[in-house]
Amino acid sequence: MRLVDPGAEPRESLRLTPVVGQREVVAVDMDMQMSMSMAGMALPAMALPTQHFSMAVEVTGINPQGHIAYSAQVLDYSIDDSDLLPAEAMTSLRSTLASLTGMTGAVEIDATGRTLSADFSLPDDAPAELQEQIRQLQQQATALSLPMPTEAVGVGAKWEVLKRTDANGIPVGERTEVTLSSREGARLTLDSSVQQTVVGEMNGMQGLPPGARVDIARFDSGGSGQAVVELDHLVPASGKAGVDLNMSVNISLDEMPADLPPQGMEMRMSVQVQNRRVAGQ
């Protein structure tokens, strides 16, 4: 966390102030579009069915340092109808995603919203192919609100948040710049922009056979968002975010002939997420 600009006067410290026992529910809608090409051959672009899930969070404790402990539980997970998949495949996909319902976690943050610890347990019947959805749910549960600076700030303040994450086997460094666009009492509007860069070697890729080696040739990823935060709530009143990814990788297999060059794959992905607090007003 680095404060770039403290903003205009008057300036105040921003701190979350929920109370023990406070329970809130966030509803999330996620749209994803994807296009790929393999060895120069373009595959049909896909607009995946919109995914919906809701998550309940409840404050379980606040220590003398102001650290906030809360529980998180996925209440439901569903997808819209789609003509892209046959009915049988849609039924199977819905059944698979439904197994995420009941996923639970315990999270501790400080009063600025910075995550201190997170521990999640998955349903026993959660399939291995849901790793990306599980990662997204964990990210949602541990990043309910953008972290805020420790210094006093006013409208127009800007700060930078750096973190490292994993996206489908890709170690990613994420730089987010946050602007306090407006404030009315405890209600804040935070605008953000994000840039992602690869910070290590890729550890395989979902769907590829064992022994496949993946080298990243190009990785461009960034986006923007806005959140309406109320300091006496854990869950923002509303939020939206979008990220676009353009990536090129070279894939090689141990069994490939020595004179066969690695196969190139290009992928474009756009993800749009909207969330809103639906309980705990």
Selection from 62, 53, 26 nearest residue 280 by Cα: 26
88: amino acid identity, one letter: E
Residue 52 CA to residue 116 CA, distance in Å, equals 27
Which of 72-81, 104-113, 213-222, 223-232 has the weakest average pLDDT? 213-222
Residue 222 CA to residue 208 CA, distance in Å, equals 26
Q: Give residue limits of the domains in the chain.
A: 2-279
Measured in residues, the chain has a length of 281
Contact (CB, 8 A) for 228 and 188: yes
Residue 249 CA to residue 184 CA, distance in Å, equals 47
Is residue 185 classed exposed, middle or buried when 0-12, 13-18 and 19+ CB atoms within 10 A define those classes? exposed
Mean pLDDT calculated for residue range 84-101: 81
Say yes or no: domain 2-279 is CATH 1.20.1640. Answer: no
Q: Which single residue is written with the structure tokens 């609100």?
A: 145
**Structure token digits, residue 6:** 């403290």
Instruction: Express each pLDDT in 118-140 by its tens digit.
Output: 888 766 666 666 666 676 677 76
Instruction: Express each pLDDT in 190-219 by its tens digit.
Output: 999 999 998 877 655 655 666 677 788 889
Q: What is the pLDDT of residue 258?
A: 57
Q: DSSP label at 129?
A: G
Selection from 222, 195, 213 nearest residue 249 by Cα: 213
Predicted confidence band of residue 157 (pLDDT cuts 50, 70, 90): very high
Mean pLDDT calculated for residue range 1-27: 96
Q: What is the pLDDT of residue 210?
A: 63
| Degrees to nearest 5, angle at CA 263 with 258 and 264 | 145
Q: What is the pLDDT of residue 57?
A: 95
Instruction: Express each pLDDT in 21-75 by its tens digit.
Output: 999 999 999 998 989 887 777 877 777 889 999 999 999 999 999 999 999 999 9
Instruction: Express each pLDDT in 161-197 by its tens digit.
Output: 998 877 666 788 999 999 999 999 999 999 999 999 9
Q: What is the pLDDT of residue 138?
A: 72
- Rg of the chain over all Cα atoms, to the nearest angstrom: 21
Predicted confidence band of residue 262 (pLDDT cuts 50, 70, 90): low
Q: What is the pLDDT of residue 168?
A: 64
